[in-house]
């Protein structure tokens, strides 16, 4: 099961990407049968070409790719025999996610429709069986390995038997806590922004071009594109922005909309089912010098309380931080790329990088100016909770990583043993050119 976890869940996605690079036409024929499931010549070629295009090294042979497909089909076949059922809602959600990704890659929904010469519904129907099979296969793997547990002794033995050049190299990683304060905008600053947007809206109503005004006045990153943020679904957008945008008719411009990003004028360009294409003009109220000083003073006072042991950093974050994503975790930041709390230093923006780099474990930074993920001005302090130096993985520092590696190896061994046993009672036929292959697992060529 060497490659199954690497590409089995991305077949349709990989085919789509390769098609965009002008995949050569393949004449199909059945090259294998597992139970009631067929393997086509094109499936093997597509998998191989995709792995080659991705630069996977060492590149497996076509016989290895074919054996992987045999294993996948066997898992799906047994899932069907065992009457495992995939939730159709999950299938639909997965297809929607893939369609969104394809649209982002190709540019627009219309371009995707034109490329395939099919409607979105037809494209989804083409991928439905593949997505369902991939989910069934994963369910079957989970059934086979559900009783697996890994002991510390097994992790230790796995680690001790790893060749030196196979032990993962771990970059320096840190965990941090933060306390964040948002400086307030004055009523006058908010009034000024609303007046500017009202004036711009009237100019648009009177005939001026929305995109031109967005280039000139919008403070969002899309200003250079005339405020165009492309196609998005409700879940992709700020709730207030989404509610206002979906209420518009095509070509219509909204009233002023307040979101977590600032204040907007929104123009609906196109609508398609649950997705919309919009432009916007974004403005943020200016923060006065006095309000900035208030935020800095407040943070400095909080840090002073921590330094004299009046309260811990974690409690101070819960009581005073205005960052809703971290405050209830004591200010502990989660890495959005991995879902855990460890960060590589180069994952921080430049200012934070230099501040965190020079902190000692347990040390608290000075108050500094930054911005949140929506581009809003914030002031924050950071405490370096922990730091690891670059190193080869070891049992003391990286036990969980090594445990997961051990578990993956054991799962693959269990699935391999299950496959070799299940081959004995499953109808399997292998046609040329793969009937001459030498396979890794025993029994494929029993017929």
On the question of pLDDT at 20 being above 60, the answer is no
Q: Does domain 173-184+288-389 have CATH number 3.40.50.410?
A: no
Query: Which range has highest mean pLDDT (126-140, 224-238, 312-326)?
Result: 312-326
Mean pLDDT across the stretch 347-372? 93
Lowest mean per-residue pLDDT among 120-134, 311-325, 416-430? 120-134
Q: Does residue 54 or residue 154 have the better pLDDT? A: 154
On the question of pLDDT at 231 being above 80, the answer is yes
Q: Give how far the C-alpha of residue 316 lies from the chain's centroid of Cα atoms, to the nearest Å.
A: 31
Domain 187-283 fold is: Chitinase A; domain 3 (3.10.50)
- Residue 230, classed as helix, strand or coil, is strand
Question: Where do the domains of the chain lie?
Answer: 4-152+402-436, 173-184+288-389, 187-283
Mean pLDDT across the stretch 89-107? 80
Rounded to a whole number of angstroms, the CA Rg of the chain reads 28
Q: Which of 233, 10, 274, 265 is nearest to 131 (CA)?
A: 10
On the question of pLDDT at 3 being above 60, the answer is no
Which CATH number applies to 4-152+402-436: 2.40.160, 2.60.40, 1.10.357, 1.10.4030?
1.10.4030
Within this chain, domains 173-184+288-389 and 187-283 share the same CATH topology? yes
Who contacts 325 (Cβ-Cβ below 8 Å, separation ≥6)?
Answer: 334
Reduced DSSP (H G I as helix, E B as strand, rest coil) percent helix, strand, coil of the chain, to 5: 50, 15, 35
Q: What is the pLDDT of residue 16?
A: 47
Tokens of 266: 């929104």
On the question of pLDDT at 29 being above 70, the answer is yes
Model confidence over 277-333: pLDDT tens digits? 999 999 999 999 999 999 999 999 999 999 998 899 999 999 999 999 999 999 999
Lowest mean per-residue pLDDT among 74-78, 115-119, 139-143, 199-203? 115-119
**Average per-residue pLDDT for the chain:** 88
Q: Tell me which long-range contacts 410-414 makes (C-beta under 8 A, separation of at least 24).
A: 410/145, 410/148, 410/150, 410/154, 411/141, 411/145, 411/148, 412/1, 412/2, 414/144, 414/145, 414/148
On the question of pLDDT at 441 being above 90, the answer is yes
Q: What is the pLDDT of residue 129?
A: 86
Mean pLDDT across the stretch 119-130? 84
Who contacts 22 (Cβ-Cβ below 8 Å, separation ≥6)?
Answer: none
**Predicted confidence band at 27 (pLDDT cuts at 50, 70, 90)?**
low
**Predicted confidence band at 21 (pLDDT cuts at 50, 70, 90)?**
very low
**Predicted confidence band at 107 (pLDDT cuts at 50, 70, 90)?**
confident
- Residue 197, classed as helix, strand or coil, is helix
Task: Check if the beta carbon of residue 17 is closer than 8 Å to that of residue 412.
Answer: no
Model confidence over 154-205: pLDDT tens digits? 999 999 999 999 999 988 899 999 999 999 999 999 999 999 999 999 999 9
């Amino acid at each position: 099961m060497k490659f199954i976890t690497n590409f089995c869940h991305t077949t349709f996605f990989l085919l789509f990407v390769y098609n965009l690079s002008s995949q050569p036409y393949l004449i199909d024929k059945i090259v294998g049968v597992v139970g009631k499931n067929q393997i086509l010549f094109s499936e093997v070629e597509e998998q191989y070409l995709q792995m080659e295009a991705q630069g996977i090294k060492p590149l497996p042979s076509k016989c290895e790719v074919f054996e992987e497909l045999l294993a996948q089909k066997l898992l799906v076949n047994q899932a069907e025999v065992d009457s495992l059922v995939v939730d159709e809602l999950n299938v639909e959600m997965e297809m929607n996610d893939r369609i969104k990704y394809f649209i982002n890659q190709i540019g627009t929904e219309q371009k995707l429709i034109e490329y395939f010469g099919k409607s979105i519904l037809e494209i989804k129907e083409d991928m439905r069986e593949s997505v369902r099979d991939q989910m069934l296969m994963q369910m079957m793997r989970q059934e086979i390995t559900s009783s697996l547990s890994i002991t510390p002794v097994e992790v230790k033995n796995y680690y001790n038997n790893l060749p030196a050049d196979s032990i993962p190299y771990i970059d320096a990683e840190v965990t941090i806590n933060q306390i964040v304060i948002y400086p307030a905008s004055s009523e006058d600053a908010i009034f000024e922004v609303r007046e500017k947007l009202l004036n711009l809206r009237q100019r648009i109503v009177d005939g001026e071009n929305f995109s031109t005004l967005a280039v000139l006045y919008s403070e969002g990153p899309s200003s250079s594109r005339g405020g165009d943020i492309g196609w998005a679904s409700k879940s992709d957008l700020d709730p207030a922005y989404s509610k206002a945008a979906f209420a518009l008719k095509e070509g219509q411009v909204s009233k002023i909309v307040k979101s977590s990003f600032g204040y907007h004028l929104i123009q609906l360009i196109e609508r398609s089912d649950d997705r919309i294409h919009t432009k916007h003009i974004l403005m943020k109220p200016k923060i006065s010098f006095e309000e900035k000083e208030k935020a800095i003073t407040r943070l400095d006072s909080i840090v002073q309380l921590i330094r004299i042991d009046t309260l811990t950093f974690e409690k101070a974050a819960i009581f005073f931080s205005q960052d809703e994503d971290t405050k209830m975790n004591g200010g502990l930041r989660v890495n959005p790329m991995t879902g855990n709390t460890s960060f590589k230093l180069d994952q921080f923006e430049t200012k934070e990088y230099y501040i965190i780099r020079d902190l000692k474990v347990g040390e608290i930074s000075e108050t500094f100016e930054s911005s949140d993920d929506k581009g809003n001005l914030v002031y924050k302090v950071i405490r370096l909770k922990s730091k690891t130096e670059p190193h080869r993985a070891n049992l003391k520092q990286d036990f969980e990583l090594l445990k997961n590696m051990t578990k993956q190896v054991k799962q693959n061994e269990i699935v391999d043993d299950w496959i070799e046993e299940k081959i004995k009672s499953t109808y399997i036929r292998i046609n040329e050119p793969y009937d001459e292959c030498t396979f890794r697992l025993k029994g494929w060529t029993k017929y």
